Amino acid sequence: MTKNFENKLGQGGYGSVYKGKLRSGHLVAVKLLKESGAHGQDFINEITTIGRIHHVNIVQLVGYCAERSKRALIFDFMPNGSLDKYVFNREKTFSLNWDMKFKIAVEVARGIKYLHHGCDTQILHFDIKPHNILLDDKFVPKISDFGLAKLCAANKEAVTLTVARGTIGYVAPELINRSIGAVSYKADVYSFGMLLVEMLHLNKDLTRNNNESSMYFPNWIYDHLNQGRDIDIGNVDENDDRDIGRKMTIVALWCIQMSPDNRPSMNKVLEMLEGDVEHLHIPDYPSQIVYMPRNEVESWVTDSNDSKSLLHSNNYSNIIEIITY
């Protein structure tokens, strides 16, 4: 179906993706997993989670291959690629207007809400990021890559993980430091908040900071919002666009609260996004922030697409330190 893997769409730590066509003429994306992970849990996770999901904002699994050492997943082809192509487009070759950005944000939130509350079994994705948001021919977003997902009872408040995995910059702090709080669906809420931060380019000043340290919660965002000033979020000409930017910024700040208890559910996130911006209030100034040595900042906030295994151990003490004021 791929004509000997002729058209490569991309690659990552999991393997490579190729464009293919079924005998019916239906276009597909074939994700060929690396042989080293041929019998790994990621492959089983993808099939057992995404195979049971049918939602407009979740990528559709068409089929899979498990022959000898080869493992492949076949999905519907998404002609507009993944969201990171538009978020991290430094040459501005690809761009999205504010209405489209907002539409994508809302529909991704609906997809996550369905995973958390719309299935018989709660599905925690654990790897929400621009690279895993695919866009169809009408720019309808589809959440993809369920290799790190975990199934749990719908009424379960917390999950037990021996190894936390995710992508640096999007992974919730409690996955790295369990003293922050219990691991739950709020980890996906945090990652969604960071997705909004990336879409708004709010973290661009973090990598330009020349001070001794950079703060994970950018204080200048709070200062600007509390003073009623506009935040520089790129080319904004219309008041409606400014309202969209402000709304997405406030929602992002709620989602990336340090304590998972302070983050809203995806039900509440959708309510805020679809409501009037004038009714939104800014979360309290954070009493806890993440401090990182300057040489670690770039690797934390840049557009990494590499999902990693984050072992909960003292090895991460040189990456993240929690400071309480």
- The answer to whether 125 and 143 have CB atoms below 8 angstroms apart is yes
Q: C-alpha distances in angstroms, 200 versus 77, 111, 233, 246?
A: 27, 20, 6, 10
The yes-or-no answer on residue 188 being catalytic is no
Q: Rounded to the nearest 10 degrees, what angle do helices 239-255 and 266-274 cross at?
A: 160
Q: C-alpha distances in angstroms, 227 versus 172, 224, 276, 284?
A: 28, 5, 19, 14
User: Considering 84, 127, 145, 188, which one is annotated as catalytic?
Assistant: 127
Residue 301 neighbours by CB under 8 Å, 6+ apart: 169, 203, 206, 207
- Burial (CB count <10 Å: 0-12, 13-18, 19+), residue 141: buried
Residue 233 neighbours by CB under 8 Å, 6+ apart: 200, 201, 202, 245, 249
| Residues taking part in catalysis | 127
